[in-house]
Structure 1
C-alpha cells in the first residue's frame, strides 16, 4: 500500500463527520483507550542509580544491577490499584536500553544484571500478560549517548529501535514519544555539550505511520502525527473546560505555547485528539531516596483522579521502582488506598431507571439512568432541560455526567440545579462534559435534580447521569513551620484531634502529644502528625525541616526573605542573583530550590550556579548545573555541592530561566548543612 495514502487515511479518520456535521468523533481505538480511564507509567533505568531525572548519556552500564527486580510486583500493584495498562520507559533521554537492542552496545546486555543476558522489556511484558494488563512502551527520540544524534544517521538508528519494540513484544495499546528533544549530553564524546535539532528533524509522519501499521490497535503520544495529546502539565490536572478536540497545527493561537493550548483544547477544533494527564506519585519521575517522605497524600491523589478522569482526560500515574527493582511498600499501599478511596466514593449510584426523568424527546430519556454509557438520549434542541425526580429526598455530593462521544463532544455550557423549599437552587455552572465529568460539592438534600444545557454545538447526546453520596475520609493534617521554628498543624475537619511527634516517630492517638497551639520545633526536625475523629483516622503527614531561619537575610533586597518564610505559596521575584546572609559561618553541603508554584509561574530557573563566601568579598564556586525537566515538573530541586563548603554567604545565580527573562522566581530556598 502507498504509505502516503495510508497515513492520509489514518489521520482522516480522526475527524470524519456525523450526519454531515463538522464535529470530529473518536476512532474505535481512541474510544477504547479513553475507556481505560486510569493507567500507569514506570520510570526505571540508569537514572535510578545516579539519583538524576535526566542522564547525560555517559553513565556506565555497569551501574545497572537491580538485585531483586520483580516486574510481577510492579504489575500486581497496578492491578490491585485498578489500573488498566502500564507503559515502561524502554529508553529514556540518556539512551540506555532496557532491552538487548541489536543496534547499540549501550543496553542491559552490557550490564552486570543477569550477566548481560537479561531483557527487562520482555520481563515487563510477560508480567503484564500474566495479570491481564495492557502493554505500552516509551521510546525517547532524544539520545544523549548516540554519537550521530542530530544527524540523518541517527534517524535510521531510531527507526530500527522503534521497529524492534513494535515487532518483538506483542500487542501494544500505547506508544509514547517524549517531547524533550535536543540539549546537553556527552553523545559518546569526552565533553558535556549541547546539540540542537531543527523542528523538522524527525520524520514524524513516517515514524507514526510505522506504529499504526505494525500496531493497529495502538494510540500514539508525541510527535506531530499523534492521535492523543499531552494535557499540558505534569501536575495531574486538566482545566475545568476541557475539549477532546484541537485545531490543525497551522490554526493554533500564535504566541501561546502548544502545551498551554492543550490544557484546554480547542472548542472549535476539527481533530479528535483527547488528552492524557501524566503525573508521578512522587515529586520526581525516577526513584530518589530523598523523596521517600514526599509521597503524594491520599487527598492529593484523589484530587488528581477527579481533575483528570473527572474532567474528560485519561490519567497516567507514574511509579518509581528503587535500585533493587521494587516499588516501595509505602508507594504500593498508597496506590491501593487511593483506588479504594475514589471507587468507594463512586460506588453506589443513587439514581436508577425507576425514577421519573422528564424533558423533551422523552423516547430514550431513561437511557441516561441505566448505568450504561453505550446507550444515550439525543435532545431535539441545543439547549435542552432534563429533570430527575428522585421520588424522595436524597442527600448527595457528587454528580457524574457523560456524553455519548461517538457523536462528538457537543456541550459547551451547562447548569445544575436542585429543588429545595419550593425553589430551584443553583448547584453548579460549568462548561464541558465530554467522555466523563464529575462534579464535587458540599452535601445537598433534595427531591429533584435539574440539568440545563445552556450552550452546545449540536443537540446534546447524554449517555449517563449518576448521583452519589461520598463518605469523605479524614484528611491528613497540613504541617507548616514559620521562620522562627514554630510548627502549626491544621486539619480540614475542625472536630478532629491532631497528634504529633517531632522526632520522626509514628504518632499514636492518646499517647503522642495532642496539638493545641503552635509547637516550638527549631533545628533539624522530622514532624509527623495524624488526625483522629471518632473511629476515623487519617494517613500520616510528614515534613522535614532544617535549622531556624529567623536571622537569615537577603542582600540587598530585604523582600527576598519570602524565599525562606516556609510558605510555598509566597514567591520572591527579583534579579538573576539572590544572595543570602546566614549571619554566621556554617558547613554547607548543598541547597534546595522550590520554583514559583503559581500555575503561570515566572522566572523558573533552568541553569544555575552557586557560590559560597566567608566574608562576602571572596567567592568560591560550589556547584553549577541544570534542572532537568523543571518547566513541566516544577517541584523542589536539590543540589549537592562538589564538596562541603564553610561560609556565611551564599549566592544563587540564575544563568537561564524557562521564560528567558533576566529575573527569577523563588518560592523557597533551603540550605543543606553538614551533620558533623
Structure 2
C-alpha cells in the first residue's frame, strides 16, 4: 500500500497553527512525578488483536480491524478499579497499522470497518476518569519497510510527522513509550533513525513528555542511555534490581501469557493478583520503579471478565505506601550519537583475546581487559587520524563490566598536546564517579583523540564501552 509522505509543513503543524509549547519543567521533577504514579495499564490493542500472532502480517488488510463493541471507558474504569494512575496504548505496533486518524498513510483505522479514532477515544476516556495518558509507538514498521536496509529520509520524516500528530491532536501526553529501536530483533540503530533528532522533536512539541525507549535495558543499569526512564520488559528477560536500582524506572508484564489478545484468554487463568502485588507492584515502587501491567482488550474492544475481576482484586489487596521514595541524584540522560563507536582504538597490553577493539564495539557484554602485569593501563580512541581535523565533544562515558577502576584521568589530544578533562559528574559533583558507569560532562573541547589513564584499580582494569559525545542544547 502506498505511503502518503508529508510535507515539512505538516511536520511542523503545531507551530504553523500558532501553538506555544508548554513551560518546560525540570526533567528530575518529571521523572519523580512518573514514579510517583506507581501503577499503570499497558493496552496492546491493534491489528494483531485480530490475528493469532503478536507480530502481525505487514500486509494484513485494514478490514480485519473491526471491534464491534469498542468501549475505552470500560478500560479506564477497569484501570481505576486496580488503583492505576495512567494508561499506555499501542498507537502503532511493529506492522505499521495506525489506530488514529493519521494523514501520513492510508494504513490506518479510518480505512477499517470501525472508522473511528481509537487514540482519541482512549485519551478522552482516560482523562475523563482522572487518569494520565501515555502512548506507545513502534519505530520498527514492517508495512512501510522501515527496517534495516530500507530506511530513507522519508522514513525519518514519517516518524516525525506521526509523532507530531500524536503530540498535537490529543492533549498532554505524559510519556511516549517507544519500541523497536536499537533492539537485537529490530536492528534499527540510534543512528539509522537519529535518536537525538527525534528526542528533541518530541520535546519541542511537548517539553514535559518523557521519552522512554523500551529497549534501553541493553545499557548498564547505573545510567540513563537513550531514555528518560529506564525500562525493563520482564518477558524479554529484563529484570530490575529491587535492591540496587537508583534510577527512575518502569517494569512491564502482561496479565496474560501474551501481549495481544488470544482466543484462549477468556478461559485461561490470568496471573495471580496477590502475586502481582507482592512480587511486582510493592517492591518495584520501593525501588523507584512503576509497574506497567498489560491488559489486552478482545476483538470486540472490551476487556475480558477474568481480567476485570483480577484488576478489581488488585485494587482491593494493594495497600500502597504513603509516599514514594525520593530519587537520589543521578546523571542526565545521554541522548547523542556516540562519536567513539567503532572508531580505531589503542591500548596498553591486553589480557588474552580481549584487545582494544572490544572497548568501543557497542556491545556491553564484551570489554577491553588490561593484562594483569600492566601497572598503569591506558585506553585510547582515535576520533580522527587526518592532520588538522579535530572533533568537538563535551561528554565522555566510561562503562566497566564491574567497578574496579578507582583512580583515572581523562585527556584529549589538541594539536600535538594532550590536555586534561575535568573529573566531575552530576551524580557526584566535584569528583569522579566511583561506580561502574562513569559520566563526565564538561565545556566543549576539540580534539582528535581521547584517552583514559588508569592510575589505580582493585582488579585488572577493563572497559566495556568508552563513549564520546557532542551534546547540543546545554
TM bucket (normalised to shorter chain) is 0.5 to 0.7
**1:199 Cα offset (Å):** 4.9
Give the one of 249, 259, 281 matched to 1:305. 281
1:130 alignment partner, one of 104, 128, 131: 128
Identify the residue that residue 76 of structure 1 maps to in structure 2. Answer: 77
Instruction: Report the 3-state secondary structure (helix = DSSP H, G, I; strand = E; otherwise coil) of the residue aligned with 1:39.
Output: strand
Aligned to 1:282: 256
Match of 1:405 in 2: 327
CA contact (8 A) 1:236 1:279 kept: no
Aligned to 1:331: 307
**After superposition, what is the alpha-carbon deviation per residue over 1:574-611, rounded to whole angstroms, capped at 9, x for unaligned?**
xxxxxxxxxxxxxxxxxxxxxxxxxxxxxxxxxxxxxx
Cα deviation 1:162-198 (Å, max 9, x = unaligned): 11101010001111111456899xxxxxxxxxx8545
Q: Which has more radius of gyration?
A: 1
Unaligned runs of 5+ in 2: 1-23, 217-224, 332-427, 430-474
- In the alignment, is the contact (CA less than 8 A) between 1:321 and 1:328 conserved in 2? yes
Q: Judging changes above 3 Å, is the alpha-carbon distance between structure 1 residues 403 and 297 closer, same or farther for their aligned structure 2 residues? A: closer
Q: Is residue 322 from structure 1 mapped to residue 324 from structure 2 by the alignment?
A: no
Matches within 5 A, 1:326-475: 326-343=302-319, 373=323, 403-405=325-327
SS in 2 for 1:137: strand
Of 296, 302, 311, 2:271 maps to 296
Structure 1 residue 312, shift from structure 2 partner: 2.7
1:205 lines up with 2:196 in the alignment: yes
Matched-pair contact (CA < 8 Å) for 2:174–2:210: yes
* Structure 1 runs not aligned, ≥5 long: 1-9, 15-26, 185-194, 246-273, 348-370, 374-401, 410-456, 459-676
Query: How big is the shift at 1:317?
Result: 0.9
| Partner residue, 2:446 | none
- Cα–Cα, structure 1 residues 151 and 75, in superposed 2: closer, same or farther, change >3 Å? same
The superposition leaves residues 422-454 of structure 1 with CA deviations (integer Å, 9 ceiling, x where unpaired) of xxxxxxxxxxxxxxxxxxxxxxxxxxxxxxxxx
The normalised TM-score by structure 1 is 0.41
Say whether the 8 Å CA contact 2:43–2:294 is kept in structure 1. Answer: yes
| Offset, 1:243 | 2.1
Among candidates 139, 142, 151, match of residue 140 of structure 2: 142
* Contact 2:76 2:126 (C-alpha < 8 Å) held by counterparts: yes
Superposed, 1:14-53 pairs within 5 Å as 27-53=28-54
Residue 221 (str. 1) matches residue 212 (str. 2): yes
1:81-120 equivalent positions in 2, closer than 5 A: 81-113=82-114, 116=115, 118-120=116-118
Cα separation, partners in 2 of 1:406 and 1:288, compared to 1, 3 Å: same
- 8 Å Cα contact 1:237-1:307 kept in structure 2: no
Cα pair distance change 1:181/1:30, threshold 3 Å: closer
Give, in whole Å, the separation in 1 of the partners of 2:99 and 2:300: 15
- Which is richer in strand? 1
Q: For 2:56, what is the secondary structure of its paired residue?
A: coil
Q: Following TM superposition, by how much is the alpha carbon of 1:304 offset from its aligned partner in structure 2, in angstroms?
A: 1.7
Q: Structure 1: how far apart are the matches of 2:315 and 2:206?
A: 30
Determine helix, strand or coil for the equivalent of 1:177: strand
**How far apart are the structure 1 equivalents of 2:32 and 2:263?**
38
Aligned residue in 2 for 1:238: 240
Length-normalised TM-score, structure 2: 0.58
1:40 is paired with a residue whose SS is strand
Q: Which has the higher contact order (CA 8 A, sep 6+)?
A: 2
1:52 CA displacement: 1.1
Whether the aligned pair in 2 keeps the contact of 1:242 and 1:312 (CA below 8 Å) is no
Q: Structure 1 pair 202/408, CA: closer, same or farther in 2 (3 Å)?
A: closer
Q: In 2, Cα distance between the equivalents of 1:123 and 1:215?
A: 20
Give per-residue Cα distances to partners, 1:215-270, cap 9 Å, x unaligned: 1222111175321111253379532323234xxxxxxxxxxxxxxxxxxxxxxxxx
Mapped partners of 2:81, 2:189: distance in 1: 44
Shift of 1:60: 0.9
Q: 1:17-49: per-residue Cα shift (whole Å, max 9, x none)? A: xxxxxxxxxx11111111111111100011011
> How many matched pairs?
295
Query: Would the alpha carbon gap of residues 299 and 146 (structure 1) be closer, same or farther in structure 2, given more than 3 Å must change?
Result: same
For the 8 Å contact 1:70–1:325, the answer to whether it is kept is yes
Cα deviation digits, residues 251-309 of structure 1 (max 9, x gap): xxxxxxxxxxxxxxxxxxxxxxx210011111111111224414101232122213322
Mapped partners of 1:109, 1:183: distance in 2: 33
Q: Indicate conservation of the 8 Å contact 1:177/1:221, yes or no.
A: yes
Distance 1:94 1:148 in 2: 10
The 10-residue stretch of structure 1 (223-232 or 325-334) with the greater mean CA deviation from structure 2: 223-232
